[in-house]
Amino acid sequence: VQEHAASLASDGLLSVHDAVAQRDFEPTLPPVPDDVLEEDEDSVKIVSLVKTKEPLGATIKRDKTTGAIVVARIMRGGAADKSGLIHEGDELKEVNGISLEHRKPKEILPLLVSFICLPQPSSHWMFLFRSLFVRALFDYDPNEDPTVPCKDAAVSFKRGDVLQIVSMKDDTWWQACHLADSSNRAGLIPSQQLHESPVTIQPLFLSAGLRRSFRLGRKSSRAREAARSRRWSAGVHGSLRPPTYIEVIPYRRDSKDRPRLVVLVGPSGVGVNELKRRLLISDPDRYGVTVPHTTREKRRQENEGMDYHFVSIHMFEEDILNHRFIEYGRFRGHYYGTSLDSVHRVMAEGKVCILDVHPSKIKHVYTSEFKPYVVFVKPPRIEELRLTRRRAKFISDEEDTNPEEDFEDMIELAETMENQYGHLFDKVIVNGDVALAFRELKAELEKIEETEVQWIPSTPSTSDTEFLSYFKYCSICKQVL
Ligand SMILES: Nc1ncnc2c1ncn2[C@@H]1O[C@H](COP(=O)(O)OP(=O)(O)OP(=O)(O)O)[C@@H](O)[C@H]1O
């Protein structure tokens, strides 16, 4: 048996040697058909691509005016692109010796191994593109999209994933690389819709977040009722349709950099203040909160600049006009507001500023100066919500803090917030067991102090343009260069 195996092996070796010597491992190209050469065309290319597991990385379409089959797109980094032989607009004449006349594109694709094509005269569509990164604001699965030109050529992604855009030439289908995909191959993604994000008009009056920021005591049922109506008014005026992508830029923290701003958002009663309180107690040198402005009288036990900045109505209104507030409103005839300056003050102390606002206000701090890290505090499922809050009430002996209807409202409002503003959230923390939620939040905030690459919003100011051109992100080594 051994002898027979050895003879088979040597036969095999010899036939490989013969094949290599004759160079017959290369595919045989079909001859150029005469009629192709007779046509009045500039040149003809015979392209041979050896099919591997890797997709071809090209799509084809029928030209509506000429009826010819042409290369519609070449995916960056795909086999067709790497060959450098095929370009967008090239006309396909034959595939594997089979004429393409009267054939539909979908009959042709499986045949694409070697083909003859007439080059498009100026097909230099691969223009140099500065690195543009976007965060996807929705989940996309090409298998569930009947409009995608070619499912295999498309990239699937989840909300929050970062994509590098490599071509925006086509109005409807862009090309992008998924940063989490090590192959670095570009594919099709749906382009940003022109009609996205209608203009948002914000109410001038107190929103749920603002009320929370100034909440000093427990809510009476009347206050709860009022809060409920205000919550809805904040929701109604929020942005109606979230955008599809947000431009982001890579950021690698330097030890000299100011800490990023941390924004906590969530439906009223979910535990935003509780988590903030625990953070402050856990490390008062590291975390800080803003001091709000108010036009109400100072009470005896209060200190200017510690409890509030007490200002006149005139000053407050001037600051409103000068867009100095992230959030403001009126409560019992007095103005209350959180100013941008108060955030600067905390950051200037080198502390992580924990801001607690309604999600509709995030846009005021969504800049590369603040580099906000937005955490959405979400209620758990109703059973867990009931259990954890009742247990806490039992321990603290609080009266009627969280009746059943509040739980339902909270869950409903959380859903509304997530639908409207979810694209702005960097992290969602479910506040079931408060100790676990706090631990998760703390770990998350420690992570953003580290030096690994983070993706932050890009804002179109002069300094940002410099910032953008300064950074280059290598999606292979996952480094900012
Ligand atoms: N995970 C939890 N388990 C049990 N009780 C909790 C939990 N989180 C918060 N609480 C309690 O629920 C109540 C409301 O929490 P908190 O004041 O932090 O909510 P909030 O989101 O800031 O709401 P508001 O906007 O109404 O001030 C507090 O008594 C708090 O101690």
Note the pLDDT of residue 228. 41
Does residue 9 surpass a pLDDT of 70?
Answer: no
Q: Which of 154-168, 229-243, 344-358 has the lowest mean pLDDT?
A: 229-243
Which residues, 6 or more positions from 388, have their beta carbon under 8 angstroms from its beta carbon? 380, 432, 433, 434
- Taking CA atoms, 132 is separated from 31, 191, 369, in Å, by 44, 14, 19
Per-residue confidence (pLDDT) for residue 71, from 0 to 100: 82
Pocket lining: 212 vs ligand 1, CB cutoff 6 Å:
yes
- At 265, the pLDDT band (50, 70, 90 cuts) reads very high
In degrees to the nearest 10, what's the CA dihedral of 289, 293, 299, 302?
30
Please report which confidence band the pLDDT of residue 381 belongs to, taking 50, 70 and 90 as the band edges. Answer: very high
pLDDT of 339 > 90? The answer is yes
Fold annotation for 208-480: Rossmann fold (3.40.50)
Q: Is 273 in the pocket of ligand 1 (CB under 6 A)?
A: yes
288 CB under 6 A from ligand 1?
A: no
The response to whether residue 261 sits with its C-beta less than 6 Å from ligand 1 reads no
Q: How far is the CA of 271 from the centre of ligand 1 (A)?
A: 3
Sign of CA dihedral 390, 396, 397, 400: negative
CA–CA gap between residue 217 and residue 114 (Å, rounded): 76
Centre of ligand 1 to C-alpha 123, Å, is: 61
Q: Long-range contacts: 169-174, Cβ < 8 Å, 24+?
A: 169/125, 169/127, 170/73, 173/73, 173/148, 173/149
Cα(259)–Cα(348) distance, integer angstroms: 9
Q: CB atoms < 10 A from the CB of 119, how many?
A: 19
Architecture of the CATH domain 34-118:
Roll (2.30)
pLDDT interval class at 14 (50, 70, 90): low
Homologous superfamily assigned to 132-190: SH3 Domains (2.30.30.40)
Q: State the pLDDT at residue 459.
A: 63
Angle at 293 (CA atoms; ends 288, 298), nearest 5 degrees: 105
Nearest CA to ligand 1 atom 4: 389
Highest mean pLDDT among 35-49, 53-67, 160-174: 160-174
DSSP 423: G
Mean pLDDT of the chain: 75
Among 295, 274, 292, 300, CA closest to 432? 274
Ligand 1: which of 274, 279, 393, 400 to mutate, most ligand atoms within 8 Å of CB? 274
Q: Is the per-residue pLDDT at 207 higher than 50?
A: no
- Give the number of other Cβ atoms within 10 Å of residue 439's Cβ: 13
- Give the whole-number percent of the chain exceeding pLDDT 90: 35
Residue 202 pLDDT exceeds 70: no
> Considering the entire predicted model, what is its pTM?
0.64
What pLDDT, in 10s, does the model give residues 81-100?
777 777 788 887 777 777 77
Most confident listed range (184-198, 258-272, 456-470): 258-272
When pLDDT is cut at 50, 70 and 90, the band that residue 315 belongs to is very high
- pLDDT, residue 225, reads 43
Residue ranges of domains in the chain: 34-118, 132-190, 208-480
Please tell me the distance from the alpha carbon of residue 390 to that of residue 479, in angstroms, as a whole number.
47
- Asked if 479 contacts 473 with a C-beta cutoff of 8 angstroms, the reply is yes
